[in-house]
Chain A
Amino acid sequence: MSAPTHVPFRNPGWAGNTGEFDLTEADVRGTDFVGERPLDGGHESAAPSYPYMLPDKDPEAVLFEGPYRERFEKIRSRYPTARGALIPALNLAQELRGHISPETMDEVAALLGLASAEVRGTVTFYTMYNKRPVGRFLIQVCTNISCSLCKGEEVLDAFLRHTDTELGETSEDGDFTVIEVECLAACGFPVAVQINSRYYENVLPDDVSALLQRLREHGE
């Protein structure tokens, strides 16, 4: 890697910087195939998956209205019990609000006719629910075995250094929160880093500054 400030960070999302590789990033990620996903979730079969992560979160967003209400109704229709729809409904709430506060848990509980305690039990079990607000970019660095063998902890340190934060803390400009994550299932292309919804692979300590610059300028 040459001086990272002059090299636009290039990563097709897999094998990228190292493989015998002639596909574009869009080819690898399947962007053209997926296209622009509708906010209402499209067909009911797909509604429980995330259409996309909104760049701007609104902690006060209404649960749920407009196309999101439609998506919520579609989700509800795909599970035989109200409780079955809980995790997709929480995912949808987090997509809008950016994190799951105790108030959000109560609202989701009311929407599905569940007890608040049941919802709280579920939310606190899963690592992807942010229990408090995070930065515009949530950076999750894998340091599990395969990444650990290939400088995972050095990459984590580089992210912390370049964002001038401690683990789990949000940078002063509100842009970055860096956390350690367990295996992302991209072990062949270490170090694996997930930033919001996107995977970045083959990330080395020297790439970090250019990657952060790209995020600041062009978003995820």
Chain B
Amino acid sequence: MAYPYVHEREVRVISRNFGDPAARTLDGYRERDGYRGLERALEIGPAAVIDEVKASGLRGRGGAGFPTGLKWSFMPKAAVKPHYLLCNADESEPGTFKDRELIRWDPHQLIEGCLIAAYAMGSRHAYIYLRGEFFEASQVIARAVEEAYEGGFAGEDILGSGTHIDVTVHVGAGAYICGEETGLMNSLEGRRGEPRVKPPFPAAVGVYSMPTTINNVETLAAVPHIVRYGGEWYRQWGTDKSPGTKLFCVSGHVEKPGNYELPLGFPMMELIEDVCGGVAEGRALKSVIPGGSSVPLMDVEDCRECTLCYEGVEAAGSMLGCASVIVMDDRTNIVREVRRMVQFYAHESCGQCTPCREGTSWMTQVLRRIEAGRGAESDLDTLLDMSAQMTGTTICVLSDSAAAPVVSSIEKFRDEYLALIHGGATAEVA
């Protein structure tokens, strides 16, 4: 198959149609056994669908890793008010590039996942919230949704079952914070994408003040397979606490970057050395960010024993996040890259909470000063002090995310900071 890099150790469940343009159409998807999960869901009923997802142990793929079946079960059983399902396709965590591929190669798989989830939670309307930059992906999914309506899989009386579920493709307008679930709800209501205080949680008071569940694209893409083949089937891969397969988005200094679907619990070094062909140009490894820019950096020592599952990465001192593995070789200027990440958070802070709004900008300034060779050793204490005040003090975790790379890089790569501080901007840091 042509998906540019495929590896024999991959287990392609949700990525099985990557690189296969014929699978985009409704007919192509049906020929590849599409919509069988939805058929089975309609047969077994909503409660059994939730049980199946619970049994699979599927955990939310957007970063937090919350058990999906449990999340679904928080929705009120009686549909007194309208229920909403939101699909979070506002993919914008730096290092993450799986959702766009899932949407553009296999749009019907996502639609099927949305329909099953909406059915299980008694929701009449599902919104697929795409980030505004995804024009191309939005066109593919919009066409596929139209096909699903034409084919009787969406809209009124789905497959003659009497179930009515509408699906709407919604396109945002550019803001990282709209990937936060309550920010996304505000954005879908036409407001500024500012996160809300929880509680109340979305399952009680969500979008339009109605019970709402928000799931990541990758989570929903796995649902049709779980419902069709059963929760136990899904558990044949992964670990006890992290069952199933996961897309690993590998970027940075590797020979073969890309999306690789692997069983959770896969060893980090084998991902880099074997699956991705090693560090680019035969260089040595310096640092890895395992879960997108919001998680702590790891050094080579941390990576050696690390297995890529929720508990494995945590044991290595970081977080799996959305499994966006960013690889940095021995020439990387860590201070510069950390500054670039923090600068991003300063740009994307919504400005509601002072520690985040001010802290991200101040940290960027201090890091720029160090990068330019004008820093002092006391700046490191200032950064750590600010990080402490930015962690756990705000409505959402954007500010915690900005602090994570700063704290971990000072802890693991203090020498590089000191080299710039004492040796000036031209110091040999690598």
Whether B340 contacts A148 by the Cβ 8 Å rule is: yes
Q: Mark B16-40, 1 if CB is under 8 A from A, else 0.
A: 0001010011000000000000000
Q: Which residue, of A19, A37, A91, A125, has the highest number of chain B Cβ atoms within 10 A? A: A125
Whether B145 contacts A43 by the Cβ 8 Å rule is: yes
Considering the chains assembled together, what is the distance between the CA atoms of A56 and B341 in angstroms? 36
User: Would you give the shortest CB distance from A14 to chain B, in whole angstroms?
Assistant: 8
Q: A13-B136, A150-B252 are in contact. Are A27 and B21 (CB under 8 A)?
A: yes
Whether B94 contacts A35 by the Cβ 8 Å rule is: no
Q: A185-B97, A187-B324, A188-B258 are in contact. Are A86 and B143 (CB under 8 A)?
A: no
Q: Does A213 sit at the interface, judged by CB under 8 A? A: no
Whether A49 contacts B173 by the Cβ 8 Å rule is: no
Considering the chains assembled together, what is the distance between the CA atoms of A37 and B189 in angstroms? 26
A residues near B, CB below 8 A? 13-15, 18-23, 27-30, 32-35, 37, 42-46, 48-53, 78-81, 83-88, 90-91, 114, 121-122, 125-129, 143-146, 148-150, 181-190, 194, 197-199
The 9 closest A-B pairs by CB, nearest first: A19-B4, A86-B190, A128-B174, A46-B142, A197-B135, A126-B173, A15-B4, A187-B251, A127-B174
Whether B169 contacts A125 by the Cβ 8 Å rule is: no
Contact of A45 (CB < 8 Å), options: B25, B145, B189, B258:
B145
Whether A46 contacts B4 by the Cβ 8 Å rule is: no
User: Would you give the shortest CB distance from A106 to chain B, in whole angstroms?
Assistant: 16
User: Would you give the shortest CB distance from A54 to chain B, in whole angstroms?
Assistant: 12
Considering the chains assembled together, what is the distance between the CA atoms of A32 and B191 in angstroms? 35
Since A144-B344, A183-B96, A185-B97 are in contact, a sample of 18 more A-B pairs with Cβ atoms closer than 8 Å, ordered by chain A residue number, is A19-B4, A28-B21, A29-B104, A30-B136, A34-B142, A37-B143, A46-B143, A48-B171, A49-B141, A49-B169, A90-B173, A122-B190, A122-B191, A129-B174, A149-B251, A150-B252, A185-B131, A185-B133
Whether B189 contacts A84 by the Cβ 8 Å rule is: yes
Q: A53-B135, A150-B252, A183-B92 are in contact. Are A145 and B145 (CB under 8 A)?
A: no
Contacts of A20 in B (CB 8 A): 2, 4-5
Q: A20-B4, A53-B135, A126-B173 are in contact. Are A186 and B100 (CB under 8 A)?
A: yes
Q: Which chain B residue shows the least CB distance to A184? A: B133
Q: A45-B154, A122-B192, A188-B258 are in contact. Are A34 and B139 (CB under 8 A)?
A: yes
Q: A127-B174, A149-B326 are in contact. Are A45 and B142 (CB under 8 A)?
A: yes
Considering the chains assembled together, what is the distance between the CA atoms of A78 and B142 in angstroms? 14
Q: Give the contacts of B120-173 with A (CB-CB under 8 A).
A: 130-136, 138-143, 145-146, 149, 154, 166-173
Whether A19 contacts B5 by the Cβ 8 Å rule is: yes
Whether A126 contacts B190 by the Cβ 8 Å rule is: no
Q: Which chain A residue shows the least CB distance to B135? A: A197
Considering the chains assembled together, what is the distance between the CA atoms of A188 and B247 in angstroms? 13
Whether A126 contacts B175 by the Cβ 8 Å rule is: yes
Contacts of A85 in B (CB 8 A): 190
Considering the chains assembled together, what is the distance between the CA atoms of A15 and B293 in angstroms? 22
Q: Which chain A residue shows the least CB distance to B96? A: A185
Q: A33-B25, A87-B187, A149-B337 are in contact. Are A42 and B142 (CB under 8 A)?
A: yes
Whether A149 contacts B253 by the Cβ 8 Å rule is: yes
Whether A49 contacts B21 by the Cβ 8 Å rule is: no
Q: Does B257 sit at the interface, judged by CB under 8 A? A: yes
Considering the chains assembled together, what is the distance between the CA atoms of A40 and B148 in angstroms? 19
Q: Give the contacts of B77-133 with A (CB-CB under 8 A).
A: 82, 91-97, 99-100, 104, 130-133
Q: Does B188 sit at the interface, judged by CB under 8 A? A: yes
Q: Which chain B residue shows the least CB distance to A80? A: B208
Q: Which chain A residue shows the least CB distance to B4? A: A19
Contact of A144 (CB < 8 Å), options: B131, B173, B191, B340:
B340
Considering the chains assembled together, what is the distance between the CA atoms of A53 and B136 in angstroms? 11
Considering the chains assembled together, what is the distance between the CA atoms of A19 and B277 in angstroms? 13
